[in-house]
Amino acid sequence: MRVLLFVFSLLHCLYCGILAQCNVTIIPSSNSIICGDPLNLFSSGHSGNQVMNNDFDLGNAGTGWNVTTAATFTNPCGGGNGSTYLWMGDQSPAPRSLSTVGFDLSCGGEVCFDLKFAIQSDPSPCEGPDVWDEGVDLMYSIDNGLTWVSIFYFEPDMNGNLNAAYPNAGDYTAWTNYCFQIPPAAQTANTMIGWFQHASTSLIYDHWGLDNITIQAFDCNYYYVWSHNGSGNQSQTVSPTYDSTFTVLYTNGINDSCWATIPIQVLFPDVNIDPVDTMYCLGDTILNAVLSNLPPDSCCYTLEMFDSYGDGWNGGFVEVLANGNSIGQYSAAGFGSVEQICFANGDNIVLTYASGIFEYENTYNFYDPNNTLLISQGPTPPVGTSYIGVANCQATVYNYQWSPANLVTSPNTLQTNTITLAPGTYNFTITVTNANNPTCFSTDTITIVVTSNFNINGIFHN
């Protein structure tokens, strides 16, 4: 049934795709492979409904809040993003906080909002934070507000005097929209989201505001359907034998669908017969086959890097070393990136991980040339050395077969001789196959015309 649904959805998504609330991407372990080699495909979809959408345009906090500190809604510090905003000014005693009721975020979600710090030393109620502990902490609670865990701390910029415990200092003095994925540990049926300023100098200092708060709860009822096999698994391992395009559908099966496609190039050598028309004896000639467009021997490892939020790794990176020398530092971009890293046979390989922020979004996998998973780290990968190994690279082996085999002297080599041919017309074909995967092959054929026992009248490519 799901395969039929997939076809139906593709036919109709010229219309429904515009209205779709979901989005999905495909991340391949490589965009090209040697014919028959395995390839990993990973799909990542997001969907759901807004459980909170508050722009404060009614001049109050509105519904959906559990705990609020006294705030003003009179736009005391200039215009917001074209609407009324919530302002923690000189009517708001510290600690200043705003937190929601509990929402069902058990399948994940996203919180977005506009935030602005007042400028330091401006008149109250527009005087801004300037000490590292006067920032605003975006937090979650899964025990009805008894304890809170930080998602991201907005630390005030102290003119470059950063505190090592909070590496997120920045100039937040302009209205800007921020979005954060709900961390895995916060994905429960009763999750509260809150904004907290734990310390301020007094009522007349360290002010800030919020606007346009939305919380989207991802929908558990969405599923994946791959076009090549109808599978519903997020991850796929495929071994295409020709250039292919893979498509995944992400849908709730009712009224919302989206899809993504990825083209994969398949590499295999071409073969051409270059006959030598010199006869060593009557009706005998040399057949010389030549390989072209030969793919490089696979000595390349694959590093897959994923970011569940889709904004790339924020400062985190994997460093890869060969024989103690750094090959490079690699980070995910967007929802993910894939790097092919090539070594010489016998190289000593070391992978280390350095952390950034939003570590709960980061995962990575490392595969050998045979697509065997060597390590998988994350979310929140451990810092330091994660893999030590030795490069083991094997050359691709090709098999050769001439036909008709009984009319050549060596049917399993690139170069061979015909036997002495009687007058007649003969077709000679060579087939080149991957020794590990005979479904991958290329061929070439020539025609030899012998008119007498003393000469070859012609050699022609078919």
Q: What is the pLDDT of residue 220?
A: 87
Strands (E) across 205-277 are located at 208-218, 223-226, 235-238, 244-251, 257-267, 270-276
Of 260, 204, 194, nearest to 61 by C-alpha is: 194
Mean pLDDT lowest for which of 52-61, 215-224, 285-294? 285-294
Give mean pLDDT, residues 416-434.
Answer: 89
pLDDT of amino acid 287? 87
pLDDT at 6 over 70: no
Tens digits of per-residue pLDDT, 85-100?
A: 999 998 888 899 999 9
Residue 21 pLDDT exceeds 70: yes
CB neighbour class for 199 (10 Å; exposed up to 12, middle 13-18, buried from 19) = middle
Count of residues in the chain = 462
Residue 287 to residue 409: CA distance in whole angstroms: 10
Domain positions in the chain: 48-218, 268-294+397-461, 296-395
pLDDT computed for residue 461 by the predictor: 56
Query: Per-residue pLDDT averaged across 268-290, rounded?
Result: 72
Residue 331 has pLDDT above 90, yes or no: yes
Question: What's the pLDDT tens digit per position in 283-328?
Answer: 567 888 888 887 766 678 889 998 887 778 988 999 999 999 898 8
pLDDT tens-digit map of 432-457: 998 878 888 999 998 888 876 555 44
Over 60: is that where the pLDDT of 4 sits? no
- Give me the pLDDT at residue 210, please: 95
Q: What angle do CA 196, 200, 201 make, to 5 degrees?
A: 175
DSSP 98-142: EEEPPB--TT-EEEEEEEEEPBTTSPTTSBPP-SGGGSEEEEEES
Is pLDDT at 236 greater than 70 in this prediction? yes
At 290 the pLDDT is: 86
β-pairing, 257-267 with 32-34?
parallel
Structure tokens at 316: 């985190």
Single-letter amino acid code for the residue at 132: W
Q: Which two tokens stand for residue 134?
A: 């006067």
Q: What pLDDT does residue 79 have?
A: 80
Q: Looking at residues 257-274, what average pLDDT do you find?
A: 91
Q: What is the pTM of this model?
A: 0.60
Q: What is the rounded distance in angstroms from the CA atom of residue 360 to the CA atom of residue 344?
A: 34
101: pLDDT confidence band, cut at 50, 70 and 90? very high
Query: pLDDT-derived band of residue 133, with 50, 70 and 90 as boundaries?
Result: confident
The stretch 367-385 carries a mean pLDDT of 89
Beta bridge partners of 373: 367
List, as one string, the DSSP characters of 408-431.
BS-TTSSEEEB-PPPSEEEEEEEE
In angstroms and rounded to an integer, the radius of gyration of the C-alpha atoms of the chain is 32
Q: What pLDDT does 261 receive?
A: 95
For residue 284, the model assigns a pLDDT of 67
Average pLDDT of span 63-68: 82
Pick the more confident residue, 308 or 430.
430
Long-range residue pairs from 277-282, CB within 8 A, at least 24 positions apart, any chain: 277/456, 277/459, 279/455, 279/456, 280/417, 281/420, 282/420, 282/453, 282/454
Whole-number Å distance between alpha carbons of 213 and 122: 26
Those residues whose C-beta lies under 8 Å from the C-beta of residue 143, and which sit 6 or more positions away, are none
Q: Which of 142, 129, 119 is nearest to 192 (CA)?
A: 142
Which tokens is 62 given?
């509105």
The answer on pLDDT for 459 being more than 80 is no
State the DSSP string of 267-283: E--EEEEEEE---SSTT
Which CATH number applies to 48-218: 3.40.50.970, 2.60.120.260, 1.10.10.10, 3.30.465.10? 2.60.120.260
At residue 18, what are phi and psi to the nearest 5 degrees?
-70, -35
424 beta partners = 450
What's the pLDDT tens digit per position in 193-213? 999 998 888 888 899 999 999
Check residue 70 and give its pLDDT.
86
The larger pLDDT score, comparing residue 286 to residue 462, is at 286
CATH number belonging to domain 296-395: 2.60.120
H-run or E-run covering 361: none
CATH number listed for the domain at residues 268-294+397-461: 2.60.40.10
Whether the domain at 48-218 and the domain at 296-395 fall into the same CATH topology = yes
Q: Are 180 and 309 in contact (CB under 8 A)?
A: yes
Q: Which residues contact 1 (CB under 8 A, 6 or more apart)?
A: none
Label residue 42 by pLDDT band (50, 70, 90): confident
Three-class secondary structure of residue 16 per DSSP: helix
